[in-house]
Amino acid sequence: MKKTSTRLADGRELVYYDSRDDAVRDAVDQRPLDPVATASEVRHDELLGDHVAIASHRQARTYHPPADECPLCPSRDGRHSEIPDSDYDVAVFENRFPSLAGDSGRCEVVCFTSDHDASFADLTEEQAALVLEAWTDRTAELAELPGVEQVFCFENRGAEIGVTLGHPHGQIYGYPFTTPRTALMQRTAADHHEKTGRNLFDDLVERERAAGTRVVLETDHWVAFVPYAAHWPYEVHLYPTRRVPDLRALEDPARTEFPQVYLELLRRFDRIFGEGEPPTPYIAAWHQAPFGDARREEFALHLELFTIRRTSGKLKFLAGSESGMSVFINDVPPEAAARRLREVASA
């Protein structure tokens, strides 16, 4: 992998990740951009104990542009985008409309491919491996920034999820705090260790492997399963078989095997609802240990992949119980979801 760092016209960082060591990235951003002015502010909710990012400048962000005006495509034929070069493998840049900025963290955009009409599932294993390298490198870089406590790499796919740019891409957030979901995992893991002397993540994975009914696929270095108490209609958790706290600690055999496993999961998601159905909307979320946690080595890196589509043409909306009380109601039994995901395995 070759990494090339440069700056956009308004001073934001842009990083190219290339599979070829001889790749040259010297194109200059020709746009007459003013310096980025953000109004991002993180406020603490005293009642719930969590944080809310207030980012009014995001109201002006690009919203469903036509394909020939996509800001994530390469700059070609006199049209200038966020990527000055005429082609790229993987590109990462600071978000022009960040939810978190300055002392309140950092937001980056990850472009998986220059092909506007592709999706992550269309990537080759070599391309997927390069994205994994980019995620890992960005985790390492953001870990060194003052005030960043946790790094979150994720992808939103599909208009139903709320995606406003159709180009295949994801995002990376550097939070200045530990997110509520992670903090809850830490508390339950600490309680489990106090009661049993064992690691909660290890026990969960081993129980799923032993039961087998919710396992979707398993290889030498990865295991994917639908959790016993899945919140979403089709939800898969992917763990390396050897527990590590974050992407930086992932061992080479698991790195080598990841592209095959992850691409297979994504392709199965697109086959859940049968032929002729539109691509399945999903969120893919990496869970990594916060940097300031004294017990971070006990946390387990894992990826959670889920869709809000519950059946053909119908979405799972968060209504009163979910949005008002955070009590999820799932219409699809996890065992049935796992069975369907096994049925649509690649031949």
Tell the burial category of 212 from Cβ atoms under 10 Å away from its Cβ (0-12, 13-18, 19+).
Answer: exposed
Write out the catalytic residue numbers. Answer: 169
DSSP string over 222-276: EEEE--TT-SSSEEEEEEESS--SSGGG--HHHHHHHHHHHHHHHHHHTTTT-TT
Place of tokens 């995620």: 135
Give phi and psi for 299, each to the nearest 5.
-80, 150
**Can you say how many angstroms the Cα of residue 231 is from the centroid of all Cα atoms in its chain?**
18
- Amino acid identity of residue 192, one-letter, is H
Place of tokens 């709320």: 162
Helix (H/G/I), strand (E/B), else coil: 342:
helix
What residues are paired with 91 via a beta bridge? 16, 111
Query: CA-CA-CA-CA torsion for 121, 124, 130, 131, nearest 10 degrees?
Result: -10
Cα–Cα dist 309/317, whole Å: 9
DSSP string over 53-122: EE-GGGGGS--S--GGG-TTSBPBTTB--SB-SS--SEEEEE-SS-SS-GGG-EEEEEE--S-TT--GGG
Place of tokens 């946790």: 150
